[in-house]
Amino acid sequence: MGVFDVVPAGVLTGDNVMKLFSYAKEHHFAIPAINVTSSSAINSVLEAARDSKSPVIIQISQGGAQFFGGKGLSNDGQAASILGAVAGAHHVRTVAKSYGVPVVLHSDHCAKKLEPWFVGMLEADEAYFKQHGEPLFSSHMLDFSEESKEHNIAACKKYLTRMAPMKLWLEMEIGITGGEEDGVDNTGVDNASLYTQPEDIWDIYRELSAIAPHFSIAAAFGNVHGVYKPGNVRLHPELLAKHQAYVKEKLNITDNHPVFLVFHGGSGSTKDEIKTAVQNGVVKMNIDTDTQYAYWEGVLKYYKKNESRLQGVLDAEEKPNKKYYDPRVWLRESELSMKKRVQEAFNDLGGANSL
């Protein structure tokens, strides 16, 4: 049995997202969620998924969406970020099925100050749903972790209620992911905020499950965005087992992993930390820093290899250099480099050859 026995190729929505995450949890693997900023990066991720025979999550952040829409556009009211997210979503929908893999189309961290971006994407989902019977995106993340727990849960309940008729998945965060990413700076937060408590997970599960089952929780266990020197980040994925056990006891059920958990700040994690997280019910792990560097490294290596031919339109013998500086050539090297790193993620998370 494989993933294709439960879901089809292409962008998944509604019950198919639930089926995919349930299958991953049951078979003890997680799906990498790769941040993208361009159609080139999207294609690289899809190619990696196809060649690794794995489902994949493609996600776009507010900043990534703005770049996709065009930095030359005004972002007043998050207009460019909304436009870019929608454009990126349509690109994924246009090509995903041709790559022959199941795809979860997701938007990344949306803090309170970025709420208009979230609302704009929901409006696009509702318009698409009205026409096609499914939302444009598979899922969205609402990150109100900097607010009080009560405010965080109330906001998630409000939006999940709006999303439920479309069976649109909601990812929420409780506790804080340290570090800085896309303008969200948590470098100075209290260390205690980096660790979520089991009681918090139960409060969220109880409140959201009363509305709809289509949600996941990014619980903090020392996570930090970015890559740091070994020893600087203290991850404790074993804490996730306590969250699952607490909810299991409250529900009085036999399922050892009743909660769909998400691993943020995954770049630079050890393979043992990743394995422990997956064993404790993590079905999604975000990867951004590592794949950003891999994309850049493709250009870097290409430049070093062909430096003498990349100094002008003509070479030293006044012969054309176009085949060296053509964007289709050096961007392809970026894609291949990023593809290799994404394939590593499929292997680390146990999803390779799962189709």
Catalytic residues: 108
Residue 198 has φ and ψ, to the nearest 5°, of -55, -35
Rounded to the nearest 10 degrees, how much is the dihedral formed by the CA atoms of 135, 138, 143, 149?
Answer: 80
- In the block, tokens 């479309």 appear at 166
Rounded to whole angstroms, the Cα distance separating 172 from 204 reads 9
* One-letter amino acid for residue 256 of the chain: N
CA angle 160, 161, 165 (to 5 degrees): 100
**CA–centroid distance for 198 within its chain:** 24
Rounded to whole angstroms, the Cα distance separating 161 from 156 reads 8
Rounded to whole angstroms, the Cα distance separating 130 from 132 reads 6
Report the DSSP beta bridge partners of residue 263: 285
| CB of 298 closer than 8 Å to CB of 337 | yes
38 — alpha (psi -120 to 50), left (phi > 0) or beta?
A: beta
Rounded to whole angstroms, the Cα distance separating 47 from 62 reads 24
CA angle 217, 66, 333 (to 5 degrees): 90
**CA–centroid distance for 272 within its chain:** 21
Determine which helix (DSSP H) or strand (DSSP E) holds 35, and give its type and residue range: strand 31-35
Q: What is the CB-side half-sphere exposure of residue 4 using CA atoms within 13 A?
A: 11
Cβ within 8 Å of residue 329, ≥6 positions away: 302, 323
* One-letter amino acid for residue 284 of the chain: K
Q: What's the Cα-to-Cα distance from 153 to each of 3, 104, 148, 150, rounded to whole Å?
A: 32, 24, 9, 5
